[in-house]
Amino acid sequence: MLRADFPILSRTVNGHPLVYLDSGATSQKPQSVIDVERAYYETTNAAVHRGAHTLAGEATELFEDARATVAAFVGARPEEIVWTSNATEGLNLIAYGISNATLGRGGEAARRFRLGEGDEIVVTELEHHANLVPWQELAFRTGATLRVIGLTDDGRLDLGQAAEIIGERTRLVAFAHVSNVLGAVNPVAELVALAHGVGAVAVLDACQSAPHMPLDLGALDVDFAVFSGHKMLAPTGIGVLYGKQELLDALPPFLTGGSMITTVGLTESEFLPAPLRFEAGTQRVSQAIALAEAVRYLERVGPDRIHAWESELGGRLYQGLSALPGVRVLGPAPDASGGVERVGLASFVVDGVHAHDVGQFLDDRGIAVRVGHHCAQPAHRRFGVTATTRASAYLYNTTADVDAAIAAVADSRVFFGVA
């Protein structure tokens, strides 16, 4: 059973066995990932791409092997993978690179990234703040206009509106693969086609898809994508930026300093080619190596199996919670015909009870869920709520975990006097 691979899942919380349903925020780590990171520090720790001694060579080899492992996992080439601290840094790297291109940095190759008045950046109403605020700031810095694709009443992206908004002035379209609030898998192919049809760059937030389903970024034809290691069994402090090779080569760097240069003079410098030109300073070596082990773990289990199991758990969550009186689940219902695909995530409102109170009640029973706006205030505002309780499952969860959460939500209504 997979649960045995995760040491933390054997502990108790408030006298109850831990039921961890907060993987949408951060995942737990299998023993193999913990062991790999510890072994690196015990046997190989050294600065990468800098030393000529044995440890430095071994560390660099592991570091670059990790890049190749992660690249293969998402249908990319190693030179298309940039290490970042997290997905948020990756999105800001793109945004600030475009700012530098707008200022004339990067030469002729960077011309396609330049923005100005009359140009438009398109996002959606369901975005995590990490895929919204950087584009707001980019619009402010460049004079471009930010436009927003709205949501339908049942929580789907309004593709008709998308087709109207994405037009000849659009230069960039940024959107999530999976909403971290609504749980629905968004129509990537349609959005990429709309973006590329007008020559715009397509940026994908894959934070809620890379851990949970097969992901082939090359086949999806997105121009850039980001995801975080901590949501897919790896440590915190490591993220991934994917970019098509020709775009990474043209994008001016954001962070500068050591490790990303070829020649430095007193008044100007020359930079390494991508991806190293985007990796200034001391790197996240142990975290990258641990992320590669997390990827190997996911590959051993099988992304298709993971997705199928989580879809089952997600459907069970949605149906069980929706059946409770006074409980509303945000986002479209699962559609067995294939009309709506959902992941193992459900954000819900208990009428008459604040989300934080629901979360505390569940925590008293050892059930860990997320409460609040989940860094997606516009999506909550769209549905007339300020906060929700979110249960998010992963490969190590069971139907018993889901049933315990549903039963606890039902009991919370009695406890707070709203049943």
Q: Which residues pair with 82 in a beta bridge?
A: 241
Question: What SS3 class is residue 20?
Answer: strand
Question: What SS3 class is residue 250?
Answer: helix
Question: Distances in Å between the alpha carbon of 199 and those of 105, 121, 163?
Answer: 21, 12, 14
Question: What SS3 class is residue 350?
Answer: strand
Answer yes or no: 207 catalytic.
no
Across 307-326, average pLDDT: 96
CB atoms within 10 A of CB 339: 10
**Residue 325: burial class (beta carbons within 10 Å; 0-12, 13-18, 19+):** exposed
Give yes or no for residue 261 having a pLDDT over 90: no
Distance of CA 322 to the CA centre of its chain: 26
- The pLDDT value recorded for residue 109 is 78
pLDDT digits (tens, 9 = 90+) for 78-124: 999 999 999 999 999 999 999 999 988 888 878 889 999 999 999 99
What is the topology classification, in CATH, of domain 2-21+303-415?
Answer: Aspartate Aminotransferase, domain 1 (3.90.1150)
Which pLDDT band, with edges at 50, 70 and 90, does 235 fall under?
very high
Q: Which two tokens stand for residue 99?
A: 């700012």
pLDDT digits (tens, 9 = 90+) for 16-58: 999 999 999 999 999 999 999 999 999 999 999 988 899 999 9
Q: Which two tokens stand for residue 77?
A: 């080439």
- The pLDDT value recorded for residue 363 is 98
pLDDT digits (tens, 9 = 90+) for 319-361: 999 999 999 999 998 875 445 688 999 999 999 999 999 999 9
CA dihedral (71, 76, 81, 85) in degrees, to 10, reads -60
Identity at 33, one-letter amino acid code: V
Cα end-to-end span (Å), the chain: 37
Q: Are 53 and 44 in contact (CB under 8 A)?
A: no
**How many Å apart are CA 143 and CA 165, to the nearest integer?**
18
- pTM equals 0.96
Identity at 145, one-letter amino acid code: T
Q: Are 125 and 378 in contact (CB under 8 A)?
A: yes
Is the previous residue joined to 253 through a cis bond, with omega within 30 degrees of 0? no
CA angle 408, 411, 414 (to 5 degrees): 155
CATH 3.90.1150.10 residue window(s) in the chain: 2-21+303-415
**How many Å apart are CA 346 and CA 182, to the nearest integer?**
7
Please name the residue that has the structure tokens 């560390």: 59
**How many Å apart are CA 362 and CA 297, to the nearest integer?**
30
- Which one from 39, 56, 72, 375 is the annotated catalytic residue? 375
CATH architecture of 38-298: 3-Layer(aba) Sandwich (3.40)
Q: Are 75 and 81 in contact (CB under 8 A)?
A: no
Give yes or no for residue 158 having a pLDDT over 70: yes
DSSP 123-177: EETT--GGGTHHHHHHHHHH--EEEEE-B-TTS-B-HHHHHHHSSTTEEEEEEES
Q: Which two tokens stand for residue 81?
A: 């993978």
Rg, Å, the chain Cα set: 22
- The pLDDT value recorded for residue 105 is 85
Please name the residue that has the structure tokens 């996911």: 298
Edge to edge, the sheet with strand 370-372 lists 327-329, 345-350, 388-392, 370-372
CA angle 276, 56, 294 (to 5 degrees): 70
**How many Å apart are CA 190 and CA 308, to the nearest integer?**
23
- The pLDDT value recorded for residue 336 is 57
- The pLDDT value recorded for residue 78 is 98
DSSP code of residue 243 = E
CA angle 316, 397, 126 (to 5 degrees): 65
- The pLDDT value recorded for residue 38 is 98
CATH 3.40.640.10 residue window(s) in the chain: 38-298
DSSP 176-231: ESB-TTT-BBP-HHHHHHHHHHTT-EEEEE-TTTTTTS---HHHHT-SEEEEEGGG
**How many Å apart are CA 305 and CA 187, to the nearest integer?**
21
Which pLDDT band, with edges at 50, 70 and 90, does 284 fall under?
very high
Report which secondary-structure segment, H or E, holds 101: helix 87-102
- The pLDDT value recorded for residue 270 is 84
